[in-house]
Chain A
């Protein structure tokens, strides 16, 4: 039986259903033989979860076994306790577990602590009164138990730091003892004294010492000791070192420790092992929060990691870059991120990196133009993965421009956006979200600057609607854009002649299954039939961000209501006052509210045209997609008076307003100048620092210099440029000079001699160098906006090719996977089939279910069960027979062997 169960565990691990055998595993734990019992426990912990029906049969046995004299039985039971006891059954075993904390065997004490810890994780309230036990066990004289106690303490301290401050001293003294090798030799690992305990302790100290000066001061000596004692040649030594760095970066900063942490990091980064580089980058990311200047020393190493073939390392490096992004280096970093985003096809990570790009671009964008270009790139490559809000933000930015009174800049921005979008439209297969943005912008501003004729734009829009004929949203956007363009044309007094393809498109939409599309098409027809004056009031040009006045009280309906009541109509009773349906209506109200507020966010950008539609005389079949009207009494009137859209638009406009403030501050032109000026001032400071505190700093810069000059030989100028642009902000002037005169050696002496004389000069040089030549330069959008916008699109073109490659790669890999999987399956069936043939009598019970499962999938479960029934019985009977004959089941072995061999 025991072997069967183990086999069953194996079967389940391979992914087949073994639930028919669970009950036998449960039976086994009642067995007297230790061996069988342990196997039973093992199987039960692997098979069942804490809410399984069979648990109820186990709890009693566990209780009994926890009291057993044999400590191995107790251990096995504790093992099961960890996995199988749920919140309700905790009280049943808790007293025994607490007793076991004082068990003479350390293995039992250890496991009892872990079981308590598990309880704490599952329901903190149930063991809250036992927390003091953990403190007691910390003083256990067995280091294994003490080490195990650190796990629950770590969790407890994570949740509540303040109540454990008193333990700092004890943790420090334990750590000191460990570091001084007072523990038994058995805990040494690669000549390190109990490294795992050290790591756990350092983690705890990091928690306790964070932003607590007093506690941190207690730790400085011991952490410093460990820094010195760690041998960095072994893996585990480095693990302890890394943990020290984490600790140092988390506790109240101490300059000396920070220095040794920086040393350790530089050792990590310089090592050849990818693991250490990874840890180094991670540690750098932690330390950079405290002392940002440390990054400069390692810029080249970081760049190396960025170009490393190892994906994990690359991602970690991007994480680091994300943390150190400033307005001075945002362009380079986001550019890099987008490049990398194009090269991967892991959707999860792509989404993450796209959202990071968007976030950084929103926070630090040096110019609107750059922001739009960046967004275009992000959309193009990861359009379907980006939140739709981002698209709405982009549309709003284009609509509002700089938000200030500079109209020419606004219109330039828009026309460049239009131009770029017309260009991009030529590409095959764009993501839906991006197409929506394009359609909206083309509709709103396509003809605004008069560069493109209406027929050209409408032709393009028709193409879009045709090319993406299975995407309703895009089609809807396209139709609305068409309507806007025709309306602008009519309003401008020009004659409108619809293109033939547009005509056919309209006919198709008029008969569309989607009511939304149909409605939009009808609206378009209606608008075209009107005269110039009416059209202008329906669709005023460039009015997308104007506020809409809303009369929430519907006062203009008062006359009508008066009239109706006079005629004998019932007055309206608000829903909440109606008796008998209070609860329901309240509930519904809430629902409505939620629905409308939810809808708002996503529909925000459709507002302009929606309100506009609503202003159209009754002909427009208003707002089908909006919230149902709360007052059923005057349906027609409420449509007419734009109640529904107005409510939403009101809220939306406030929302717009709110967000807009932040945006202006971020993107407004003013911020552009401050950002450079701040960098100026920081550079001034550093320069001054050099001149004033010569003693210490020269030493510093000398080491840096040697590091550079050593590296100089093998590092290409491009890399240096990249480094300079990445770390541009605070980096030393020598770096700047290196970028300025590309090939010249970093002669820091020369620059330094400049520095004291005219720090202003250096600063100005810095601003000029700030944007390295190899990057997309959108420095001053107001001055030269059209010229630079051409280059990026060439770049974009180049970027598009990789995407097609990537997609083909995806195809390839997927087919590969497909061809692969049957292969494995085939192999598998072969084995099971082979086994099936060879010893069908005993094994059929086992080999059958997988076979049927495989053939028929999960739907054939029942069949499998029925087919498995008799077989199982067979084998059980056989087993019984064998037992009767006085032969142990294991003695069947030789026969089996024979079966298989011959």
Chain B
């Protein structure tokens, strides 16, 4: 099963972290830091797989993919296939891309709950439930239909609030 999904930027700030087994906040932070320290020490053009036993304990592998300023990281055990998970990341990113038209780091910061919705449609309780990005899109759109105009307004508000947590965004403003 999949143990965790993380998205972090190249500075090591986590943008999305979802653990499918409960972990305390401190432990989560420790793991994120551990993963980042491994990721940032990897060269270009090496494989996308890392043996994560030293961070996550027995029987855990890690697959990551680097897009622009973001690392997408999936941690899972031996019941998944590494190459397939690599493609799952691809599906995830493709879906995000369809959702936000040319997704970037800020989209993830500003649409935090939507990202979670997408992820929940793909991975449910640690198992992959849906792998077709069009199906995921359909489901997500149906959900966002309920979030009509008031949602848009609140979205804007959310953007502004979230700015506080992102140095990057602050810099932009």
Contact = CB atoms under 8 A, between A and B. Distances in A.
A39 interface: yes
A15 interface: yes
Given A275-B49, A890-B150, A900-B163, A72 B129 contact: no
Contacts of B139: 107
Interface string A214-255: 000000000000000000000110110011000000000000
B53 A348 contact: yes
B103 interface: no
A107 B129 CA distance: 9
Interface residues of A, number: 91
Q: Chain A binding site: helix, strand, loop or mixed by DSSP?
A: helix
Interface string B32-72: 10000100001101111111011000000000000000000
15 contacts: A7-B162, A13-B16, A35-B146, A50-B22, A83-B22, A195-B87, A239-B81, A311-B42, A313-B46, A313-B47, A348-B53, A828-B167, A834-B164, A888-B150, A890-B150
Contact of B54 (A17, A349, A832, A901): A349
Contacts of B82: 239, 275, 278-279
B160 A196 contact: no
A809 to B, nearest CB: 12
B106 interface: no
B104 interface: no
A376 interface: no
A548 interface: no
A3 B83 contact: no
Name the prevailing secondary structure of the B interface residues: helix
Interface residues of B, number: 73
Contacts of B166: 831
Given A34-B146, A199-B84, A831-B164, A274 B45 contact: yes
A38 B143 CA distance: 10
Given A310-B46, A311-B42, 12 more contacts: A7-B165, A10-B162, A11-B165, A13-B17, A147-B129, A148-B129, A275-B83, A310-B43, A313-B47, A349-B53, A824-B12, A897-B160
Interface of B: 11-14, 16-18, 22, 25-26, 28-29, 32, 37, 42-43, 45-51, 53-54, 79, 81-84, 86-88, 90-91, 112-113, 116-117, 120, 124-132, 134-135, 139, 142-143, 146-147, 150-151, 153-154, 156-158, 160-167, 170, 173
A843 B28 contact: no
Interface in A787-814: none
Nearest to A50: B22
A114 B158 contact: no
A196 B128 contact: yes
Contacts, number: 205
Nearest to A152: B127
Given A42-B116, A151-B127, A831-B164, A15 B47 contact: no
* A310, A312, A313, A892 interface centre (most CB from chain B within 10 Å): A312
B28 A144 contact: no
Given A278-B47, A835-B164, A239 B170 contact: no
A466 interface: no
Contact of B91 (A49, A144, A189, A888): A189
Nearest to B158: A3
9 cross-chain pairs, A with B, having the tightest CB-CB distances, nearest first: A239-B83, A49-B22, A348-B54, A274-B47, A82-B125, A835-B164, A15-B29, A310-B46, A893-B157
Given A10-B165, A50-B22, A897-B160, A236 B84 contact: yes
Nearest to B6: A13
A15 B14 CA distance: 10
Contacts of A900: 160, 163, 173
Contact of B158 (A6, A35, A38, A194): A6
A160 B51 CA distance: 28
B130 A144 contact: yes
Interface in A335-380: 346-349
B173 A892 contact: no
Interface of A: 2-3, 6-7, 9-18, 34-35, 38-39, 42, 46, 49-50, 72, 79, 82-83, 107, 110-111, 114-115, 117-118, 144, 147-148, 151, 154, 158, 186-187, 189-190, 194-196, 199, 203, 235-236, 238-239, 242-243, 273-275, 277-279, 309-313, 315-316, 346-349, 817, 824, 827-828, 830-832, 834-835, 843, 847, 888, 890-893, 896-897, 900-901
Contacts of A14: 13-14, 165
A832 to B, nearest CB: 7
A205 to B, nearest CB: 14
Contact of A199 (B81, B124, B153, B165): B81
Contact of A114 (B16, B17, B43, B124): B124
A144 B143 CA distance: 19
B158 A312 contact: no
B125 A832 contact: no
Nearest to B143: A72
A13 B22 contact: no
B46 A827 contact: no
A275 B14 contact: no
Nearest to B23: A49
Given A2-B154, A15-B28, A189-B131, A9 B164 contact: no
A114 B125 contact: yes
Contacts of B16: 13
Contacts of B143: 38, 72
A42 B83 CA distance: 29
B164 A843 contact: yes
Contact of A6 (B22, B112, B170): B112
B46 A309 contact: yes
Nearest to B53: A348
B129 A235 contact: no
Given A144-B129, A274-B45, A896-B157, A13 B14 contact: yes
